[in-house]
Structure 1
Amino acid sequence: MNKNTVDRGLRRNQGPTRPAQGAITRAAERLLAALAQPGAYAFADPLDGAALIVRSGREGISLGGGRFPVAAGEQLLAQDLVRPELENRRHLVLGPAGRARLRREAAPEGSAFLAQHLDLVPEEEPAGANAAAPAAPRLRDASESPVAWMARRRGSDGRPLLEPAAFEAGERLRRDITVARMTPRLGVNWGAERVDGSGPRDPAAASDAVVAARQRVRGALDAVGGDLANLLIDLCGELKGLERIEAERRWPARSAKVVARIALGRLAEHYGLERAATGPDRARMRLWRESA
């Protein structure tokens, strides 16, 4: 696809007779999915004007994403599912409408239009938290978690703001706080079990899973200790953003990011999470023999 082809697609996209978003061809669907990869873009094949080449890149590594017909790219352009890249107008990248469409298609039944605005992921509960859990997993918006926000962002050196071990530690603490019911409820819990018209009135009425989760939370906070424990409650329990934490504590700008990384690093040490799996330098020799 040369520049004139892209320009014709853009002019068609801007005209009053632009086709409404609807069904697209199978080739266009595959192209849309390929452009959803991190750093993916499509450009015209210099040797074949009727084909598009998709490339994706991460951390300086370029990977091939396949070849697609130009007609697929023109169809996605006409429906606003892709757009020319700002830095290079000859490159096509995934647009907001295309990302929303992919989220709707990947969403569970009944959550399609909710998923196009939220980053829905299945909630992972600790083992034994709910033995009688329904078959369908609970969904949550991953974009609400400031820990997930830090894991997705990169610093000036190109490295993630949060290591995978620290991210998993923060998510584990968040799940335990949720199971332990240590966060304030903003509305009425219509699904709670009732006995004689009322709910649990004392800790003895809580389930074993809730009690165990509270013990894990207390153990983790005691291991971190001090103000770092209070920070983890705000970060993983209350889901307060870094800017809000800085404002409430009157900290300098961008300081909460540094303190949060230290707190989550200590939490990962408490859970026994490491950046990489380690083992002995030399394994014990074993001899396998047939049994007599």
Structure 2
Amino acid sequence: MRRRLVERELTEEGPRKSGSARGKRRTVTVNLAESPMSWLHSRGHLEDRLFDAGERLRADYERAQLGANVTMRWDPVRVRSTGETGLHASERQIAAKLRFDAALAEAGKGLEDILWRVVCAGEGLPEAEKSLGWPARSGKLVLRLALDRVADFYRII
């Protein structure tokens, strides 16, 4: 994964607003290309099992092509199936969609929102908590519960 490093100026309250003179000036380097899942994993907030479950869920989300698409597809036309399973491309896409839906169902009602936002959409935990109307710092615990159920679904030990 490519790194996109930028410098951000912070205050005690968070990112500095333009024209604000309060607080000490501090800068940090932020990697914009890093996903929220890899950020949590690299800092010890997610075990390997939970990280692997999130990556499997995201892979199924992408294989099923559930993200936003453009109106025109510019992919090259492939005649032969290159998949090791012998499935046609559309069959692989349908299988990934079925696995994705089943994994979200295994996580259960209320947990699928945080899974989709953080794992699939790449939304940060603070943004996900705010948009879901949850208290600050509650998302990490709920995300861990959801990923544990998804890991059980994918049979990750």
**TM tier relative to shorter chain:** 0.5 to 0.7
In the aligned structure 2, how far is the partner of 1:261 from the partner of 1:213? 23
**What secondary structure, in the 3-state scheme, does the structure 2 residue paired with 1:227 have?**
coil
Relative contact order (C-alpha < 8 Å, sep 6+): which is higher? 2
* TM value normalised by structure 1: 0.38
Q: CA shift at 1:142, angstroms?
A: 9.5
C-alpha deviation, 1:145, in angstroms:
2.1
TM (norm. structure 2) is 0.68
Which amino acid letter does the alignment assign opposite residue 145 of structure 1? S
Any stretches of 5+ residues in structure 2 without a counterpart? 6-30, 78-88
Residue 254 of structure 1: aligned partner: 137
Query: Which of residues 220, 244, 253 in structure 1 aligns to 2:103?
Result: 220
Which residue of 41, 58, 62 corresponds with 1:174?
A: 58
1-side partners of 2:153 and 2:46: how far apart?
Answer: 17
Q: Does 1:237 align with 2:120?
A: yes
Deviations 1:23-66 (A, max 9, x none): xxxxxxxxxxxxxxxxxxxxxxxxxxxxxxxxxxxxxxxxxxxx
Are the structure 2 counterparts of residues 186 and 263 from structure 1 closer, same or farther at C-alpha, using a change threshold of 3 Å?
farther
1:147 alignment counterpart: 37
Whole-Å separation in 2 of the counterparts to 1:174 and 1:187:
23
Structure 1: give runs of 5+ residues left out of the alignment.
Answer: 1-106, 108-114, 119-140, 154-159, 194-205, 275-292
Match for 2:42: what amino acid?
R
The answer to whether the 8 A contact 2:4-2:32 is kept is: no
Alignment map for 1:115-130 (pairs within 5 Å): 115=2, 117=4
Q: Distance in 2 between matches of 1:231 and 1:239?
A: 11
Matched residue SS, 2:136: coil
Deviation at 1:189, TM superposition (A): 4.2
SS in 1 for 2:4: coil
Identity of aligned residues (%): 36
Q: CA deviation at 1:192?
A: 6.3
On the 8 A contact 1:146/1:242 being kept in 2, the answer is yes
Q: CA deviation at 1:143?
A: 3.9
Higher Rg of the two aligned structures:
1
Q: Which amino acid aligns with 2:137?
A: R
User: Would the alpha carbon gap of residues 167 and 187 (structure 1) be closer, same or farther in structure 2, given more than 3 Å must change?
Assistant: farther
Aligned to 2:147: 264
Give the secondary structure class of the aligned counterpart of 1:161: coil
4+ residue runs of structure 1 moved beyond 6 angstroms? none
Tell whether 2:45 aligns with 1:161. yes
State the Cα deviation string for residues 61-108 of structure 1 (Å, max 9, x = none).
Answer: xxxxxxxxxxxxxxxxxxxxxxxxxxxxxxxxxxxxxxxxxxxxxx9x
For 2:4, give the aligned amino acid.
H
Aligned partner of 2:85 in structure 1 is none
How far apart, in 2, do the equivalents of 1:231 and 1:238 lie?
10
Separation in structure 2 between the aligned mates of residue 192 and residue 256 of structure 1, nearest angstrom: 40
Using a 3 Å threshold, how does the CA distance of structure 1 residues 186 and 264 change in structure 2: closer, same or farther? Answer: farther
Q: Secondary structure at the match of 1:207?
A: helix
Count matched residues. Answer: 122
- Partners of 1:142 and 1:148 within 8 A in 2: no
Q: Specify the code of the residue in structure 1 equivalent to 2:39.
A: W
Tell me how far apart the structure 2 counterparts of residues 151 and 227 of structure 1 sit (CA, whole Å).
23
**Distance (whole Å) between structure 2 residues aligned to residue 234 and residue 186 of structure 1:** 21
RMSD of aligned Cα (Å) = 2.7
Go from structure 1 to structure 2 and tell me whether the alpha carbon gap of 1:189 and 1:220 turns closer, same or farther (over 3 Å shift): same
C-alpha separation in 1, matches of 2:74 and 2:93? 19
